[in-house]
Structure 1
Amino acid sequence: MKRRSPAVRPKQSRRAGHGAVTLSDVATAAGVAPITVSRALNTPDTVSEALRERIGAAVAALGYVPNRMAGALASARTRVVPVIVPSLSNVVFVEVIAGIQETVEAAGYQMLLGSTDYDLAREAALVATLLGWAPPGVLLAGLRHLPRTVELLKTAAVPVVEFMEYGPRCIDMNVGLSHVRAGAAMAAHLRACGYRRLGFVGARMRDDYRARQRYDGMNRHCIAAGDTTVTLFETLSCEAANDSDQEVGWCALPEVLAAQPRIEALFFANDEMAVGAMLRARRDGIAVPDRVAIAGFNGLPVSGLMTPGLTTITSPRRAIGQRAGAMLLARINGDLSQRLRIDVGFTLEPRAST
């Protein structure tokens, strides 16, 4: 009787009490050397597709779980990459995370996600904790951190990529866009449309400093023009910890118009707030853009579905994640030739709301 392959009947091929399935067991089942299995699991691109499939079938059949800590002890590094963002519920960061994930997983690494809720002290605590996993590198959102965070990352001596914004100073590597220039671009657009009394509407801007940078860019542009004013609307009575951005925008519109009846155009900190304001305008019979023009930021799909269409600035979020992941992997692999700072830019999309 022909003997069945151990890759087909893995559980029965191991005697009770012999412990977990090992990498050598997988190699035997797949008919390859252990080093080939290691390469297939850790650096898939170095192994042919046929071998990856055969080894993958053996891994699945045997129920093999790689011992990442064993590899870490041997190399002093795990294959887990921490990714720290301000929010896991905001679709903007979800898309960036997706770009990072597809890039690092293709190279045999896994993400370990952390959320700061826009709290820099929490970010410092997360960095301290996640560095304890001996990661080969770290990805984190933004360029503004507490001194302790910067010190921890520099002392760890691992590659670091800061993403979402582009600026003159970074810990190691940086990929993102200039939020100051984005604010200036929106101001230029609104002025070109003929508006001279502008407003910027934001919430939690003390924490969401990138929104503050957009306001700063908008304000500087208008000051330089000399014929346009910008009013910052930051503290909204409707804002609560559990309010969605759409709810904040919904509440903000009548408050802004009551506080500044002559306002002509409003640039909201993000598309969701702008959508909330537009929905409120429709309910209350406030003509957009005839009574007040409305614009947003991020380029979410919903912006193009509004009536009228919402003017917005689109950031290449998934591409930012992909570039950040690729930069980190290149450095991990010893490639020192890459650019350290990448400005991915943005696209202003004028629509009927302005």
Structure 2
Amino acid sequence: MANEKPVPRGRRRHHGDNRITIGDVAKEAGVAPITVSRALNTPDKVSAKLRERVDQAVARLGYVPNLIAGGLASAGTRVIPVVVPSLSILTFIEVVHGIQQTLENAGYQVLLGSTDFDLDREATLVDSVLGYSPSGVILTGLRHHDRTVRRLQAWGRPVIEIMELGTSCIDMNVGIDNRRAGACMARHLLDRGYRRIAFLGVGMTRDYRAQQRYEGHREELAAAGVESDLLFASEAPSSYSAGRQVFLEAMEARPDLEAIHFANDNLAAGALLEANRRGIRVPEDIAMGSYLGLSLGEHLTPRLTTVSVPRFEMGVEAAKLLLECLEGRSPSRPRIDIGYRLTVREST
């Protein structure tokens, strides 16, 4: 079952000898190693009862079968899987670019996987790639299936979680505090004198990091004593058209709005372009602030105020952490807050 909140986890040593073996599974299941091998590789040759015992032992221990043989499996290949929620959103593309450039310069190859913000799909991807004995893994976020966490903890090789900062990581972590980033933009809008402020997002039931930014936004407004629960959202994928549509819905429902805090720059761009088409003045009629720091924000009219995140640098730092471990060093900073900055422009 997927974790609704990050479960307590901690760093562990990266020693191949600590990995769970087929002998460990056999002992846990109370059968011979050859029985475990048959249950995993030719399940039709063992009884359903034995298969169930072996499967339960595999799940409890987080055992990862090796799909390549001999010394290569024990040493690890020079391939690093990088699992992200989407390969069509610029946020993740820029992070992957930083990872890829750094790892390729060190002689490693990146294998990309996309989950579409689906933890079930992430678990399946992790199960698949670990069997090919990569040297390490980079995942997005701190929330995963319990099964994924157990497998990676038992695996014993470096794991980096990116995009989100927290103490309950599997191993190492590079990201930002999304709640604080949301509060940062809310505070800016309050400081500008706006009081009727809405948050606008899409897909927030799956993109929980956007939900975290909304929570930071809401807490900041509540602390200021203003209406804090103005949320307009849809389950559509993030796009200019989705931003346009939800913006129009918000303006129709609450024509008294003074400012909108968008979950990302793509949504804000769609809304700002629509406002220009309709003669809605920004920021005179409605102010717009956002999150991400995409370069397109500098080319809109008016230019977009946003909370900028160093995405390429985040990828570089994640790759550097991984390389330190692969070179046998213990990173001095296994948890890195990559930070963000408020970029104030004319839209607020």
Q: Which TM-score band applies after superposition, normalised by the shorter structure?
A: 0.7 to 0.9
State the AA in 1 paired with 2:131.
Answer: G
2:191 matched residue in structure 1? 192
Question: CA 1:72/1:228 → structure 2, altered by over 3 Å: closer, same or farther?
Answer: farther
Quote the Cα distance in structure 2 between the aligned partners of 1:107 and 1:71.
24
Report the alpha carbon displacement of residue 75 of structure 1 after superposing the two structures with TM: 4.3
Quote the Cα distance in structure 1 between the aligned partners of 2:276 and 2:170.
46
Equivalent of 1:256 in 247, 250, 254: 250
1:349 matched residue in structure 2? 343
Report the alpha carbon displacement of residue 105 of structure 1 after superposing the two structures with TM: 1.0
Whether the 8 Å CA contact 1:198–1:230 is kept in 2: the answer is no
State the AA in 2 paired with 1:102.
Answer: Q
The within-5 A match list for 1:184-333 is 184-235=183-234, 239=236, 245-333=239-327
State the AA in 2 paired with 1:287.
Answer: R
Whether the 8 Å CA contact 1:314–1:346 is kept in 2: the answer is yes
Give unpaired runs (5+ residues) of structure 2: 1-67
State the AA in 1 paired with 2:289.
Answer: A
- Identity, in percent, stands at 50
The within-5 A match list for 1:138-177 is 138-177=137-176
Whether the 8 Å CA contact 1:185–1:348 is kept in 2: the answer is yes
Give unpaired runs (5+ residues) of structure 1: 1-68
Quote the Cα distance in structure 1 between the aligned partners of 2:129 and 2:159.
13
The within-5 A match list for 1:80-159 is 80-159=79-158
2:72 matched residue in structure 1? 73
Report the alpha carbon displacement of residue 228 of structure 1 after superposing the two structures with TM: 4.6
Which structure would you say has the larger Rg? 1
1:46 matched residue in structure 2? none
- Calculate the TM-score normalised by the size of structure 2: 0.78
Quote the Cα distance in structure 2 between the aligned partners of 1:194 and 1:230.
18
Quote the Cα distance in structure 1 between the aligned partners of 2:284 and 2:98.
39
Whether the 8 Å CA contact 2:73–2:133 is kept in 1: the answer is no
Whether the 8 Å CA contact 2:219–2:228 is kept in 1: the answer is no
- Calculate the TM-score normalised by the size of structure 1: 0.77
Whether the 8 Å CA contact 2:240–2:266 is kept in 1: the answer is yes
Whether the 8 Å CA contact 1:327–1:338 is kept in 2: the answer is no
Whether the 8 Å CA contact 2:182–2:213 is kept in 1: the answer is yes
Quote the Cα distance in structure 2 between the aligned partners of 1:332 and 1:78.
11
State the AA in 2 paired with 1:295.
Answer: G
Whether the 8 Å CA contact 1:71–1:78 is kept in 2: the answer is no
Quote the Cα distance in structure 1 between the aligned partners of 2:111 and 2:84.
11
Report the alpha carbon displacement of residue 72 of structure 1 after superposing the two structures with TM: 5.3
Quote the Cα distance in structure 1 between the aligned partners of 2:144 and 2:193.
39
Moved over 2 A (4+): 69-76, 227-230
Quote the Cα distance in structure 2 between the aligned partners of 1:197 and 1:323.
39
